[in-house]
A and B are shown apart, each in its own frame.
Chain A
C-alpha cells in the first residue's frame, strides 16, 4: 500500500513570495490533515478535510494561508505572501473516517529567507 505522498520535499523562497505544497493521501482515506511543525515543536493542525469539505480550519492564518481539496483526494496548501515565521515543515496526514491512526507523509521543509 502506497503511503502519503508530498511534494516538494524542500523549498526555499524569499519573504513575500508565494509557495504551494501538494499532498496525495492514501487511497480511500477520506480525512486529510495539514500540520505545521516549527523547529523544536510538535505538529500543529492547520486544517482538516473530510472528503472535500473543511472540518476544522480554526488555526489556519487565513489572511495568507489557503488550502483546497477539490475532488476529495489530492490537496494543496498555499502561502501567499510568505513570512519569515512560516519557515517550518509542513506535514500532511490522512486517515480512514473515524479511525485514530493518522498516516503521515514525509513533509515539506520550507525555508523563508
Chain B
C-alpha cells in the first residue's frame, strides 16, 4: 500500500528566509503524481505545486519549488522568501494516476510558522 510520511510536525522560519519541508513516500509504481497542498487557518485547502514522476525536472511555482528524488522516494518543498501568508499546514500527497478511481493519499502534515 502507498504511504506518505511527513516527519516534521511543526517548523518555524523567519520572514524572508528559506525553509524546506520534507516528505517521503512509499510506492511500487513507476508513474505517479505528487502534490503539496496548503491549508491556512481558515481551512480551505489549496494546491501549491504538483510533480509528475516521469518528469525529471523539478516543478516550480514562483517562490515554491520541489526537490524530487525518485530513487530515494523523497519529495521536499522549498519556500523561498517566506511571507507571513505562508503560515499554514502543508500536506504532501500522492496519487497513483489521474484515473478517476485513484484516490489521493495525504501525509499528516507539517505546520509552518512564519516569525516576523
The number of chain A residues with a CB under 8 A from chain B is 26
Q: Which residues of A sit under 8 angstroms from B33, Cβ to Cβ?
A: 100
Q: Are A89 and B43 closer than 8 Å at their CB atoms?
A: yes
Task: Tell me whether A42 and B108 are in contact in the complex, defined as CB-CB below 8 angstroms, given that A106-B42, A106-B44 are known contacts.
Answer: yes
A93: nearest chain-B partner, CB-CB = B45
Binding site for B on A (CB under 8 A): 3, 31, 40-45, 48, 50, 55-56, 89, 91, 93, 97-102, 104-107, 109
Q: Which residues of B sit under 8 angstroms from A43, Cβ to Cβ?
A: 45, 91, 106
In this assembly, does B72 line the interface, its C-beta being within 8 Å of a C-beta of chain A?
A: no
Q: Are A98 and B91 closer than 8 Å at their CB atoms?
A: no
In this assembly, does B113 line the interface, its C-beta being within 8 Å of a C-beta of chain A?
A: no
1/0 per residue B62-95: CB within 8 Å of A? 0000000000000000000000000000010101
Q: Which residues of A sit under 8 angstroms from B42, Cβ to Cβ?
A: 106
Q: Which residues of B sit under 8 angstroms from A109, Cβ to Cβ?
A: 43
In this assembly, does B47 line the interface, its C-beta being within 8 Å of a C-beta of chain A?
A: yes
Distance to closest chain B CB from A28 (angstroms) = 15
What's the Cα separation between A105 and B45 when bound, in Å? 7
Task: Tell me whether A104 and B45 are in contact in the complex, defined as CB-CB below 8 angstroms, given that A40-B108, A42-B108 are known contacts.
Answer: yes
Q: Which of B33, B42, B46 has the most chain A CB atoms closer than 10 A to its own CB?
A: B46
Task: Tell me whether A107 and B108 are in contact in the complex, defined as CB-CB below 8 angstroms, given that A98-B98, A100-B98 are known contacts.
Answer: no
Q: Are A42 and B106 closer than 8 Å at their CB atoms?
A: yes
Q: Are B108 and A99 closer than 8 Å at their CB atoms?
A: no
Set B46, B50, B95: member contacting A104, Cβ < 8 A: B46
What's the Cα separation between A71 and B101 when bound, in Å? 21
Q: Which residues of A sit under 8 angstroms from B46, Cβ to Cβ?
A: 104
